[in-house]
Amino acid sequence: MEFFTPFKICGDGLAAQRAKMDVIVSNIANVNTTRTPEGGPYKRKVVVFSTDSVDSSFDSKLKDAVKTVKVDGIEEAAANESVKMMHNPGHPDADERGFVAVPNINIVTEMVDMMLTNRAYEACVTAFDASKNMAVKTLDIGK
Amino acid sequence: MSDISIRNNALQSSTAAGKIKDGSRGGNAEFGTILKSKLNEINQLQLDADQAIANVQLGNSGSIHEAVVALEKADLSFRTMMQVRNKIIEAYQEIMRMQV
């Protein structure tokens, strides 16, 4: 059914925003993490989205224009920006000069990102409700 | 019921209806067969929604929004089916009320 196309796109949008939220929460939770299995401190992660084609019975013109979203990958921030040195000689991971490599995560940036993600998720839900209302209204024709 | 055949492009473009044998009136599938295949499709959506909810409840690889989307799909297809059913009943009763 054609009315399922917005459902699919909204569902993918919700999944994408949820994935972004997962990554932001991971960044916030690891704001003080100095040890990782790969060695070194935790590095800030960023989600990258890309478009994806929708399989539907649309007209050929609309078929290529309408795109859904998918998570393209979760990438680490650039190496020179991902770590900051903090002077803390008492820390077990401090080097000989007393500096500790900690993740360069700005909690304010993460919180703002989180709010944006939240709003985008809510927008997807609203779009879902609106498209469902359209479909239900269609069924009221002729009543 | 098999005497009634309809011209409905939306129904004929669906996958199941394409395979149905052509009716007597120039390429239209029989209404009863289309209805049956649509019912199967709607039933499948209900089963999908059930499965999605079960996945969420059992905690294996199911996300809430997927389950809700599946439920909404099932809901909408069911409403559409009920609307079709109401129209059929209406038509039937209209015929039964006919003066002979």
CA distance A77 to chain B (A): 28
**Any A CB within 8 A of B48 CB:** no
Chain A touched by B40 (CB under 8 Å):
no
Above 50 in pLDDT, residue A43?
Answer: yes
Q: What is the pTM of this model?
A: 0.75
B31-54 pLDDT tens trace? 888 889 989 989 999 999 999 888
For A91-140, what is each residue's pLDDT tens digit?
888 888 999 989 989 999 999 999 999 999 999 999 999 999 998 998 88
| Among B69, B73, B80, beta carbon nearest to A139 | B80
Three-class SS state of A44: coil
Show me where the domains of chain A are located. 4-139
Name the percent of chain B lying above pLDDT 70: 72
For residue A107, give both structure tokens. 């909690």
Between chains, do B79 and A7 touch, taking CB under 8 Å as contact? no
Contact B63 A7 (CB under 8 A): no
Question: So what's the pLDDT on residue A5?
Answer: 85
Which tokens in the block code for residue B42?
A: 């709607």
Stretch B55-84: mean pLDDT? 87
CB atoms within 10 A of CB A121: 18
- A57, A132, A139 member nearest B72 (Cβ): A132
Rounded mean pLDDT, B44-69? 86
Strand A67-76 to A45-53 pairing = antiparallel
